[in-house]
Structure 1
Amino acid sequence: MTDPGSAALDVALAYHRAWTGHDIELAMSYVADDIVCQAPPGRLEGIAAFRAFMGPFSQILTRSELIAAFGDDTTAVLMYDTDTVPVPDAPGAERLTIRDGRISHMRIIFDRAPFDAARQAAASR
Protein backbone atom coordinates (compact mmCIF):
# COMPACT_ATOMS: atom_id res chain seq x y z
CA MET A 1 0.00 0.00 0.00
CA THR A 2 1.31 3.46 -0.82
CA ASP A 3 0.07 6.95 -0.07
CA PRO A 4 0.33 9.00 -3.29
CA GLY A 5 0.97 12.73 -3.40
CA SER A 6 3.44 13.14 -0.53
CA ALA A 7 6.61 15.15 -1.20
CA ALA A 8 8.67 13.09 1.26
CA LEU A 9 7.24 9.83 -0.03
CA ASP A 10 8.14 10.76 -3.62
CA VAL A 11 11.81 11.25 -2.62
CA ALA A 12 11.84 8.10 -0.47
CA LEU A 13 10.39 5.96 -3.27
CA ALA A 14 12.80 7.37 -5.86
CA TYR A 15 15.72 6.60 -3.51
CA HIS A 16 14.35 3.10 -2.85
CA ARG A 17 13.91 2.34 -6.57
CA ALA A 18 17.48 3.47 -7.23
CA TRP A 19 19.26 1.38 -4.59
CA THR A 20 17.09 -1.68 -5.17
CA GLY A 21 17.88 -1.26 -8.87
CA HIS A 22 21.62 -1.40 -8.03
CA ASP A 23 22.14 2.26 -9.03
CA ILE A 24 23.93 3.57 -5.96
CA GLU A 25 24.98 6.79 -7.74
CA LEU A 26 21.36 7.69 -8.47
CA ALA A 27 20.36 6.66 -4.93
CA MET A 28 22.98 8.98 -3.42
CA SER A 29 21.59 11.90 -5.45
CA TYR A 30 18.57 11.79 -3.10
CA VAL A 31 20.74 11.88 0.04
CA ALA A 32 21.92 15.05 1.81
CA ASP A 33 25.66 15.44 2.27
CA ASP A 34 25.18 15.69 6.05
CA ILE A 35 22.82 12.71 6.41
CA VAL A 36 22.59 11.02 9.79
CA CYS A 37 21.58 7.37 9.61
CA GLN A 38 20.74 5.20 12.58
CA ALA A 39 21.11 1.55 11.59
CA PRO A 40 21.69 -1.73 13.42
CA PRO A 41 25.50 -1.47 12.98
CA GLY A 42 25.46 2.01 14.55
CA ARG A 43 25.20 5.71 13.76
CA LEU A 44 26.49 6.83 10.37
CA GLU A 45 27.24 10.49 9.71
CA GLY A 46 27.76 12.01 6.27
CA ILE A 47 27.17 10.77 2.77
CA ALA A 48 30.52 8.94 2.50
CA ALA A 49 29.78 6.77 5.55
CA PHE A 50 26.22 6.20 4.33
CA ARG A 51 27.42 5.20 0.85
CA ALA A 52 29.95 2.78 2.38
CA PHE A 53 27.05 1.13 4.25
CA MET A 54 24.40 1.05 1.49
CA GLY A 55 26.61 0.46 -1.56
CA PRO A 56 27.69 -3.09 -0.65
CA PHE A 57 24.16 -4.01 0.44
CA SER A 58 22.75 -2.82 -2.89
CA GLN A 59 25.24 -5.04 -4.72
CA ILE A 60 24.26 -8.25 -2.86
CA LEU A 61 20.53 -7.59 -3.29
CA THR A 62 18.81 -10.18 -5.50
CA ARG A 63 15.15 -9.19 -4.95
CA SER A 64 13.15 -6.45 -3.30
CA GLU A 65 9.42 -6.10 -2.76
CA LEU A 66 7.90 -2.93 -1.35
CA ILE A 67 5.26 -3.92 1.22
CA ALA A 68 4.04 -0.49 2.36
CA ALA A 69 4.91 3.16 1.95
CA PHE A 70 3.45 6.20 3.70
CA GLY A 71 4.47 9.83 3.94
CA ASP A 72 3.68 13.49 4.39
CA ASP A 73 5.57 16.67 3.52
CA THR A 74 8.67 15.87 5.58
CA THR A 75 8.60 12.21 6.64
CA ALA A 76 8.19 8.86 4.88
CA VAL A 77 8.11 5.28 6.10
CA LEU A 78 8.93 2.33 3.83
CA MET A 79 8.58 -1.34 4.68
CA TYR A 80 10.06 -3.91 2.31
CA ASP A 81 11.15 -7.49 1.94
CA THR A 82 14.51 -8.30 0.38
CA ASP A 83 16.52 -11.31 -0.63
CA THR A 84 20.31 -11.08 -0.73
CA VAL A 85 23.10 -13.40 -1.80
CA PRO A 86 23.92 -14.48 1.78
CA VAL A 87 20.44 -14.11 3.35
CA PRO A 88 17.34 -15.16 1.39
CA ASP A 89 14.76 -13.41 3.60
CA ALA A 90 15.77 -10.02 4.98
CA PRO A 91 12.82 -7.71 5.70
CA GLY A 92 13.50 -4.10 6.58
CA ALA A 93 11.92 -0.75 7.28
CA GLU A 94 13.08 2.85 6.99
CA ARG A 95 11.87 6.12 8.43
CA LEU A 96 13.19 8.96 6.31
CA THR A 97 13.22 12.69 7.01
CA ILE A 98 13.35 14.87 3.90
CA ARG A 99 14.82 18.38 3.95
CA ASP A 100 15.12 20.51 0.82
CA GLY A 101 14.22 17.53 -1.37
CA ARG A 102 16.92 15.23 0.02
CA ILE A 103 17.11 12.61 2.77
CA SER A 104 18.65 14.23 5.85
CA HIS A 105 17.91 11.54 8.42
CA MET A 106 17.17 7.84 8.14
CA ARG A 107 16.38 5.19 10.71
CA ILE A 108 16.81 1.69 9.25
CA ILE A 109 15.46 -1.35 11.04
CA PHE A 110 16.40 -4.91 10.08
CA ASP A 111 17.49 -8.11 11.79
CA ARG A 112 21.29 -8.28 11.76
CA ALA A 113 21.49 -11.83 13.15
CA PRO A 114 21.05 -13.68 9.81
CA PHE A 115 23.79 -11.55 8.21
CA ASP A 116 26.16 -12.19 11.12
CA ALA A 117 25.45 -15.94 10.88
CA ALA A 118 26.09 -15.92 7.11
CA ARG A 119 29.42 -14.10 7.63
CA GLN A 120 30.47 -16.59 10.31
CA ALA A 121 29.52 -19.56 8.12
CA ALA A 122 31.48 -18.14 5.19
CA ALA A 123 34.53 -17.50 7.40
CA SER A 124 34.54 -21.06 8.74
CA ARG A 125 34.72 -22.66 5.27
Structure 2
Amino acid sequence: MTGTNGLAQKVAEDFVRAWTSKDVDKALSLLAEDVVCEAPTGTFEGVEGYRGFLEPFVTSLISATVIDVLANDTHAATVYTTDTPFLKDFRGIDHITVENGKITHVTSVFDLLPMHQAKGKIQP
Protein backbone atom coordinates (compact mmCIF):
# COMPACT_ATOMS: atom_id res chain seq x y z
CA MET A 1 0.00 0.00 0.00
CA THR A 2 1.29 3.42 -0.87
CA GLY A 3 0.91 6.27 1.59
CA THR A 4 -1.10 9.16 0.12
CA ASN A 5 -3.38 11.89 1.31
CA GLY A 6 -6.25 10.80 -0.95
CA LEU A 7 -9.92 10.27 -0.23
CA ALA A 8 -9.51 6.82 1.31
CA GLN A 9 -6.92 8.23 3.72
CA LYS A 10 -9.26 11.01 4.88
CA VAL A 11 -12.36 8.83 5.19
CA ALA A 12 -10.48 6.07 7.04
CA GLU A 13 -8.78 8.53 9.37
CA ASP A 14 -12.07 10.28 10.13
CA PHE A 15 -13.68 6.88 10.76
CA VAL A 16 -11.04 5.51 13.14
CA ARG A 17 -10.73 8.80 15.02
CA ALA A 18 -14.52 8.96 15.41
CA TRP A 19 -14.97 5.53 16.93
CA THR A 20 -11.80 5.69 19.04
CA SER A 21 -13.20 8.90 20.56
CA LYS A 22 -16.52 7.08 21.19
CA ASP A 23 -18.49 8.96 18.51
CA VAL A 24 -20.30 5.95 17.05
CA ASP A 25 -22.82 8.03 15.09
CA LYS A 26 -20.07 9.98 13.32
CA ALA A 27 -18.23 6.74 12.51
CA LEU A 28 -21.41 5.17 11.13
CA SER A 29 -22.13 8.26 9.00
CA LEU A 30 -19.01 7.40 6.99
CA LEU A 31 -20.35 3.97 6.00
CA ALA A 32 -22.25 3.07 2.85
CA GLU A 33 -25.74 1.71 3.61
CA ASP A 34 -24.70 -1.72 2.28
CA VAL A 35 -21.34 -1.86 4.08
CA VAL A 36 -19.97 -5.31 4.88
CA CYS A 37 -17.65 -5.93 7.83
CA GLU A 38 -15.74 -9.18 8.17
CA ALA A 39 -14.32 -9.71 11.66
CA PRO A 40 -13.09 -12.63 13.75
CA THR A 41 -16.47 -12.56 15.51
CA GLY A 42 -18.55 -12.77 12.32
CA THR A 43 -19.78 -10.89 9.27
CA PHE A 44 -21.91 -7.78 9.78
CA GLU A 45 -23.94 -6.24 6.99
CA GLY A 46 -25.45 -2.79 6.64
CA VAL A 47 -25.02 0.21 8.89
CA GLU A 48 -27.22 -1.22 11.66
CA GLY A 49 -25.40 -4.56 11.50
CA TYR A 50 -22.11 -2.72 11.85
CA ARG A 51 -23.54 -0.72 14.76
CA GLY A 52 -24.20 -4.01 16.54
CA PHE A 53 -20.54 -4.93 16.12
CA LEU A 54 -19.00 -1.54 16.92
CA GLU A 55 -21.14 0.01 19.62
CA PRO A 56 -20.68 -2.59 22.40
CA PHE A 57 -16.90 -2.41 21.98
CA VAL A 58 -16.76 1.38 21.78
CA THR A 59 -18.87 1.81 24.91
CA SER A 60 -16.34 -0.31 26.83
CA LEU A 61 -13.33 1.81 25.78
CA ILE A 62 -11.26 3.46 28.47
CA SER A 63 -8.81 4.84 25.92
CA ALA A 64 -7.67 4.33 22.36
CA THR A 65 -4.70 5.41 20.28
CA VAL A 66 -4.55 5.58 16.51
CA ILE A 67 -1.07 4.36 15.57
CA ASP A 68 -1.25 4.97 11.82
CA VAL A 69 -3.47 5.22 8.76
CA LEU A 70 -1.96 4.04 5.49
CA ALA A 71 -3.81 4.46 2.21
CA ASN A 72 -3.97 4.65 -1.54
CA ASP A 73 -6.87 6.08 -3.55
CA THR A 74 -9.46 3.42 -2.65
CA HIS A 75 -8.10 1.38 0.26
CA ALA A 76 -6.77 2.19 3.71
CA ALA A 77 -5.44 0.35 6.72
CA THR A 78 -5.97 1.76 10.19
CA VAL A 79 -3.76 0.53 13.02
CA TYR A 80 -4.82 1.17 16.60
CA THR A 81 -4.55 0.05 20.20
CA THR A 82 -7.29 0.18 22.83
CA ASP A 83 -7.75 -0.24 26.57
CA THR A 84 -10.96 -1.63 28.06
CA PRO A 85 -11.78 -2.67 31.63
CA PHE A 86 -10.95 -6.27 30.78
CA LEU A 87 -8.08 -5.86 28.31
CA LYS A 88 -5.15 -3.46 28.05
CA ASP A 89 -3.14 -2.65 24.93
CA PHE A 90 -5.50 -4.56 22.64
CA ARG A 91 -4.31 -4.02 19.07
CA GLY A 92 -6.19 -4.17 15.84
CA ILE A 93 -6.06 -3.34 12.17
CA ASP A 94 -8.93 -2.52 9.84
CA HIS A 95 -8.54 -2.80 6.07
CA ILE A 96 -11.06 -0.38 4.59
CA THR A 97 -12.44 0.00 1.07
CA VAL A 98 -13.80 3.42 0.10
CA GLU A 99 -16.08 4.02 -2.88
CA ASN A 100 -17.80 7.32 -3.68
CA GLY A 101 -16.64 8.80 -0.38
CA LYS A 102 -18.15 6.05 1.80
CA ILE A 103 -16.74 2.93 3.42
CA THR A 104 -18.13 -0.12 1.63
CA HIS A 105 -16.07 -2.89 3.19
CA VAL A 106 -14.11 -3.38 6.40
CA THR A 107 -11.92 -6.35 7.23
CA SER A 108 -11.25 -6.06 10.94
CA VAL A 109 -8.24 -8.02 12.15
CA PHE A 110 -7.61 -8.72 15.82
CA ASP A 111 -6.60 -11.68 17.96
CA LEU A 112 -9.46 -13.12 20.02
CA LEU A 113 -7.14 -15.08 22.34
CA PRO A 114 -6.38 -12.15 24.68
CA MET A 115 -10.12 -11.45 24.97
CA HIS A 116 -10.88 -15.04 25.89
CA GLN A 117 -8.00 -15.11 28.37
CA ALA A 118 -9.16 -11.86 29.97
CA LYS A 119 -12.66 -13.28 30.36
CA GLY A 120 -11.25 -16.46 31.92
CA LYS A 121 -12.33 -18.77 29.10
CA ILE A 122 -8.79 -19.88 28.23
CA GLN A 123 -5.82 -20.15 30.57
CA PRO A 124 -2.51 -18.68 29.33
TM over 0.5: yes
Counterpart of 1:82? 82
Whichever residue aligns with residue 59 of structure 2, its letter is Q
- 2:62 corresponds to which residue? 62
Q: Does 2:107 correspond to 1:112?
A: no
- 1:3-31 CA distances to partner (integer Å, 9 max, x unpaired)? 45221010001011110111101110001
Q: Which moved more, 1:54-63 or 1:111-120?
A: 111-120
The number of equivalent residue pairs is 119
Gaps of 5+ in 2: none
* Alpha-carbon shift at residue 47 of structure 1 (Å): 1.2
Deviations 1:85-109 (A, max 9, x none): 2111210001000011111000010
Q: SS at the partner of 1:91?
A: strand
8 Å contact kept, 2:8–2:97: yes
C-alpha distance in structure 2 between counterparts of 1:46 and 1:120, whole Å: 32
- Mapped to 1, the partners of 2:43 and 2:103 lie a distance apart of 15
Q: Give secondary structure in 2 for the equivalent of 1:34.
A: strand
Match of 2:22 in 1: 22
1:7 aligns with 2:7: yes
Corresponding residue for residue 92 of structure 2: 92
Cα root mean square deviation, aligned: 1.4
Tell me what 1:44 maps to.
44
Q: What is the SS of the residue equivalent to 2:87?
A: coil
% same residue = 35
SS at match of 2:86: coil
Which stretches of structure 1, 4 residues or more, deviate above 2 A after TM superposition? 116-121
Distance in 2 separating the partners of 1:51 and 1:70 = 24
